[in-house]
Amino acid sequence: MKARIIDGVKIGHQIREEVRIEVEALRQSGFVPGLAAVLVGNNPASHIYVKSKIKACENLGIYSEYIPLGQETTTAELLQNINALNQKDEIDGILVQLPLPQQIDEQTILLALDPAKDVDGLHPMNVGNLALGRHSLKPCTPSGVVEMLRRENIPMKGSHAVVIGRSNLVGKPLAFLLLQEHATVTICHSRTQNLPRVAAQADILVAAIGKPAMVTAEFVKPGAVVIDVGINKIEGDLLPEFLERDPSLRSQYEKNRAENKNHVLCGDVNFASVSELASAITPVPRGVGPLTIAMLMKNTVQAARVRRA
Nearest to 206 by CA among 154, 172, 171: 171
Give me the tens of pLDDT residue by residue for the chain, a chain 309 residues long. 689 999 999 999 999 999 999 999 999 999 999 999 999 999 988 999 999 999 999 999 999 999 999 999 999 999 999 999 999 999 999 999 999 999 999 999 999 999 999 999 999 999 999 999 999 999 999 999 999 999 999 999 999 999 999 999 999 999 999 999 999 999 999 999 999 999 999 999 999 999 999 999 999 999 999 999 999 999 999 999 999 999 999 999 999 999 999 999 999 999 999 999 999 999 999 999 999 999 999 999 999 999 887
Query: Using CA atoms, how far apart are residues 215 and 1, in angstroms rounded to an integer?
Result: 18
Does residue 195 lie in a domain region?
yes
> Same domain for 78 and 151?
no
Does residue 295 lie in a domain region?
no
The amino acid that residue 286 corresponds to is R
Query: Using CA atoms, how far apart are residues 219 and 205, in angstroms rounded to an integer?
Result: 9
What total of structural domains would you count in the chain?
Answer: 2
**Helix count (H) and strand count (E) of the chain?**
12, 11
Q: Does the active-site annotation cover 10?
A: no
Range of the domain at 78: 28-115
Q: Does the active-site annotation cover 97?
A: yes
> Same domain for 184 and 53?
no
> Same domain for 159 and 275?
yes
Q: What is the pLDDT of residue 248?
A: 95
Give the CATH number of the domain where residue 148 resides.
3.40.50.720
Choice among 92, 118, 120, 203 that is catalytic = 120
Give the CATH number of the domain where residue 59 resides.
3.40.50.10860
Does residue 205 lie in a domain region?
yes
Task: For residue 56, give the 3-state DSSP assignment.
Answer: helix
Query: Using CA atoms, how far apart are residues 279 and 95, in angstroms rounded to an integer?
Result: 36
| 63 strand-pairing partners | 34
> Same domain for 153 and 202?
yes
The model's pTM is 0.95
Query: Using CA atoms, how far apart are residues 186 and 164, in angstroms rounded to an integer?
Result: 8
Q: Does the active-site annotation cover 233?
A: no
> Same domain for 100 and 153?
no
